[in-house]
């Protein structure tokens, strides 16, 4: 009897809260309803307290019914909550949406940095000539950067490269030539590789920055099949690909890791060899260093009965010449007024 009355009452109370859940418009409103129903002082807790006053014979039935109602409310609450979260996040996304189809007359496209553009052009050439791309670490050791390249300790030629040293005898590579050594140590001839990358020297003025880029080349074959004329051909062909119809000049020079060594010039692209400020009135622009790989280098990597050539050049210098950029330092300032000109 008692139970029947309570059951009816409970049914009415529940109906009221079902409606409250269903009509909650925001997560915040739903949270308030949650406290009213499931909270410590909520209506369910109230009913469980009431249970104590119910006669024993009806208690079981009451509790069972109460739990069923509780499960119903919980399920309803959960699905309402999921729906509200979804609706609110959709509303939020709509509010913050960007119309990507909107035309903005001010937008500008980016461009490759002149160094990357020049480097890519060089890589394209050598890849088309069947050279592979190799890499090496920027933090090098004495062996790869100097020793194995025929630059033993106290060799005066080490002075040519102002080096950044770390405390533990490691150093920032001063050129890409250590990658020659790494490649020869990890591969067998025939080798035909280039290595573009950053290098570091203690230098800072209008034509020097502490970080700059080089591209290295190395060709090694068994026997004496690689000759200076191969080197001459590939460099002349490469320089014409880069600069168009220019004259190419090979000057005797010295590098510890090549013998004989040469520095290669092109006729000045600005005055066509007549003499101007850029070429210091010589008519020539110095572009790269090269030579036949020195036997001591082959010894250091354990190669016997092989021949090869190597070359290396700075990428900035070539980019500066191609784009007539007067100050090297401007390459690294990231000033959009400079970069915009390469779009």
Tell me the site size for ligand PHE, rule CB under 6 A: 11
Binding residue for ligand PHE, selected from 66, 220, 231, 310, defined by CB under 6 A: 310
Using the minimum distance from each CB to ligand PHE, give the nearer residue, 2 or 143: 143
Using the minimum distance from each CB to ligand PHE, give the nearer residue, 30 or 318: 318
CA distance 197 to 312: 11
If one asks whether residue 298 binds ligand PHE (CB under 6 A), the answer comes out as no
If one asks whether residue 131 binds ligand PHE (CB under 6 A), the answer comes out as no
DSSP label of 210: S
Residue 250 Cβ vs ligand PHE, minimum distance, rounded to whole Å: 12
If one asks whether residue 212 binds ligand PHE (CB under 6 A), the answer comes out as no
Residue 217 Cβ vs ligand PHE, minimum distance, rounded to whole Å: 7
Using the minimum distance from each CB to ligand PHE, give the nearer residue, 200 or 284: 200
Residue 159 Cβ vs ligand PHE, minimum distance, rounded to whole Å: 13
If one asks whether residue 291 binds ligand PHE (CB under 6 A), the answer comes out as yes
Helix, strand and coil content of the chain, in percent to the nearest 5, comes to 50, 20, 30
Using the minimum distance from each CB to ligand PHE, give the nearer residue, 58 or 286: 286
Residue 175 Cβ vs ligand PHE, minimum distance, rounded to whole Å: 3
Q: Which of 256, 244, 248, 254 is nearest to 232 (CA)?
A: 248
Binding mask 246-265 for ligand PHE (x = CB under 6 A): ---------x--x-------
CA distance 228 to 308: 9
If one asks whether residue 311 binds ligand PHE (CB under 6 A), the answer comes out as yes
If one asks whether residue 62 binds ligand PHE (CB under 6 A), the answer comes out as no
Using the minimum distance from each CB to ligand PHE, give the nearer residue, 44 or 315: 315
Q: 220 phi and psi, to 5 degrees?
A: -135, 135
Contacts of 198 (CB under 8 A, 6+ apart): 138, 211, 212, 213
Residue 168 Cβ vs ligand PHE, minimum distance, rounded to whole Å: 24
Using the minimum distance from each CB to ligand PHE, give the nearer residue, 146 or 311: 311
Please choose, out of 37-45, 54-62, 163-171, 309-317, the segment that lies near ligand PHE by the rule CB under 6 A.
Answer: 309-317
Q: Which helix (H) or strand (E) holds 15?
A: helix 2-23
If one asks whether residue 290 binds ligand PHE (CB under 6 A), the answer comes out as yes
Site for ligand PHE in 137-176 (CB under 6 A): 175
Please choose, out of 34-42, 55-63, 98-106, 304-312, the segment that lies near ligand PHE by the rule CB under 6 A.
Answer: 304-312
Contact between 178 and 150 under an 8 Å Cβ cutoff? The reply is no
Measuring CA to CA, how many Å separate 264 from each of 62, 124, 126, 239, 291? Answer: 101, 21, 17, 10, 10
If one asks whether residue 178 binds ligand PHE (CB under 6 A), the answer comes out as no
CA distance 42 to 37: 5
Listed in order, strand segments (DSSP E) in the chain are: 132-133, 139-141, 170-172, 191-200, 211-222, 248-255, 258-267, 284-293, 306-314
Residue 232 Cβ vs ligand PHE, minimum distance, rounded to whole Å: 14
* 312 half-sphere exposure, CB direction, 13 A CA radius: 20
Task: Report the largest interatomic distance among the alpha carbons of the chain, rounded to a whole angstrom.
Answer: 119
Residue 333 Cβ vs ligand PHE, minimum distance, rounded to whole Å: 24
CA distance 255 to 230: 19
* Helix (H) and strand (E) counts in the chain: 11, 9
Site for ligand PHE in 179-198 (CB under 6 A): none
Structure-token pair, residue 29: 């409103």
Task: Give the three-class secondary structure for 276.
Answer: coil
Using the minimum distance from each CB to ligand PHE, give the nearer residue, 114 or 289: 289
Q: Which residues bind ligand PHE (CB under 6 A)?
A: 175, 177, 216, 255, 258, 289-291, 310-312
């Amino acid at each position: 009897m008692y139970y029947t009355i309570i059951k009816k009452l409970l049914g009415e109370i529940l109906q009221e809260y079902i409606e409250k859940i269903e009509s909650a418009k925001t997560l915040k409103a739903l949270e308030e309803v949650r406290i009213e129903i499931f909270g410590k002082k909520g209506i369910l807790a109230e009913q469980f307290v009431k249970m104590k006053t119910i006669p024993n014979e009806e208690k079981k039935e009451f509790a069972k019914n109460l739990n069923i109602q509780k499960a119903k409310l919980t399920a309803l609450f959960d699905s309402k909550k999921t729906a509200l979260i979804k609706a609110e996040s959709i509303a939020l996304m709509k509010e913050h949406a960007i119309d990507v189809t909107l035309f903005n007359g001010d937008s500008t496209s980016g461009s490759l940095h002149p160094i990357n553009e020049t480097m890519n052009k060089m890589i394209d050439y050598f890849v088309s000539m069947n050279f592979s791309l190799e890499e090496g670490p920027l933090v090098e050791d004495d062996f790869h950067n100097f020793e194995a390249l025929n630059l033993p300790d106290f060799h005066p030629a080490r002075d040519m490269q102002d080096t950044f040293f770390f405390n533990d005898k490691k150093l920032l590579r001063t050129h890409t030539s250590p990658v020659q050594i790494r490649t020869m140590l990890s591969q067998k001839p025939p080798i035909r590789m280039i290595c573009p990358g950053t290098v570091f020297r203690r230098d800072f003025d209008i034509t020097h920055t502490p970080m700059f880029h080089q591209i290295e080349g190395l060709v090694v074959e068994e026997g004496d099949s690689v000759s200076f004329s191969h080197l001459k051909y590939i460099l002349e062909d490469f320089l014409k690909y880069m600069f168009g119809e220019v004259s190419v000049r090979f000057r005797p020079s010295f590098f510890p890791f090549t013998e004989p060594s040469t520095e290669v010039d092109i006729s000045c692209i600005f005055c066509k060899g007549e003499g101007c400020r850029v070429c210091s009135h010589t008519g020539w622009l110095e572009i790269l260093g090269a030579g036949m790989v020195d036997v001591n280098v082959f010894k250091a990597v354990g190669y016997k009965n092989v021949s090869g050539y190597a070359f290396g050049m700075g990428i900035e210098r070539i980019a500066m010449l191609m784009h007539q950029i007067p100050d090297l330092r401007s390459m690294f300032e990231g000033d959009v007024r400079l970069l915009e000109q390469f779009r």
